[in-house]
Amino acid sequence: MNLWFKDMGRLRDLLPRAHAAGMEFVEISLDYPFGIAELEPLKNMVMRVAERGLKIAFHAPWQEIHLASPLEPIRHASVEVMKRTLELAQRFEALYVVVHVTSCQAHCKKLSASNNPCVEAGVRSLAELRDYAEKLGVELYPENTGGACCGKIDQFSSVVTRSGLYACLDVAHAVTSNPELVKRLPQRIELAEVVDEWSAALDNRVALLHLHGVRRRSNGSIESHTDFEQCTLDIKRIVRRLRGSLRFVLFEIFRHSSGNPFDPLRVTHLVKEFRSWVAAYT
């Protein structure tokens, strides 16, 4: 499951429940100043996670980070911040680091992957970070964000495949980047179909899944990072599709449809089902 600095006060309750649910690791989001300017709170969280027998991974900072910026000084500065994050991951023996490859350039959403300066910038950034991560012995996974810049399937797949990396596929972000799927809500969306489409575009280079649901609120707005009330999760089909590449599954659920904070025990059955099908297909 995911953790961030606001979960510090809930760790005493969250971590035993994560362990009881069968989870093996947590992905800690580094959000300024937590883990960047202030390391002691991060050290404390890592220590408490380790005491529960869980491993850690890192989600790199994303605010003000623009790895796909066509403005070279901004792109270069973003790469340097990410390098420091990779060094931190090596220091804490993190399983992997997730990064966003985006910018604030509005014109990107109107462009395809070809002749797109943001895509080109993203490829250059990931190439630099790939080499640095390999030097440090850290796994690096770019994640699709569903945002306006490099969020469409052709753009993101071009960035990933050209960089030679494996991806973090955030399935709900993939849903929200597709207007046709968004229109279908609250009709239940089969997330395995989304995995099929994006995995094919990524040349089956999906090593990490971020799993959470998407739902339409009563006011008509779209909410992600929720449970799977308005989605269908065919785990057998997902594992069969991603066998040979999938290494990690993260439940990135912030709250349940009821509005209550995420309880790891609510996905115990899904953890067991993933384990069962992984064993069957390996």
Q: What is the pLDDT of residues 17-75, one digit of tens each?
A: 999 999 999 999 999 999 999 999 999 999 999 999 999 999 999 999 999 999 999 99
Question: Tell me, what's the pLDDT at 122?
Answer: 98
Question: Tell me, what's the pLDDT at 73?
Answer: 98
Q: State the average pLDDT over residues 162-169.
A: 98
Mean pLDDT, the chain, integer: 96
Question: Tell me, what's the pLDDT at 34?
Answer: 96
Token look-up 């890592």 returns 46
CA 44 and chain centroid, separation:
23
Distance CA 270, CA 276 (A): 10
Q: State the average pLDDT over residues 252-260.
A: 92
Name the token pair of 207: 């090593």
Question: Tell me, what's the pLDDT at 109?
Answer: 86
Question: Tell me, what's the pLDDT at 249?
Answer: 98
Residue 156 has pLDDT above 90, yes or no: yes
Question: Tell me, what's the pLDDT at 72?
Answer: 98
Name the token pair of 118: 């943001």
Question: Tell me, what's the pLDDT at 282?
Answer: 82
Question: Tell me, what's the pLDDT at 228?
Answer: 95
Burial class, 17, CB count within 10 angstroms (exposed 0-12 / middle 13-18 / buried 19+)? middle
Distance CA 163, CA 157 (A): 10
Q: Is 1 strand, coil or helix?
A: coil
Residue 106 has pLDDT above 90, yes or no: no
Q: State the average pLDDT over residues 272-279.
A: 96
Distance CA 194, CA 172 (A): 9
Distance CA 113, CA 153 (A): 9
Distance CA 24, CA 18 (A): 8
Question: Tell me, what's the pLDDT at 257?
Answer: 87
Distance CA 25, CA 241 (A): 23
Distance CA 239, CA 256 (A): 24
Distance CA 224, CA 213 (A): 6
- What percent of the chain is modeled with pLDDT above 70? 100
Q: How confident is the model at residue 126 (pLDDT cuts 50, 70, 90)?
A: very high
Q: State the average pLDDT over residues 159-173.
A: 97
Is omega for the bond preceding 16 within 30 degrees of 0, making it cis? no
Q: How confident is the model at residue 81 (pLDDT cuts 50, 70, 90)?
A: very high
CB atoms within 10 A of CB 25: 18
Distance CA 37, CA 154 (A): 36
Q: State the average pLDDT over residues 90-96.
A: 98
Question: Tell me, what's the pLDDT at 276?
Answer: 97
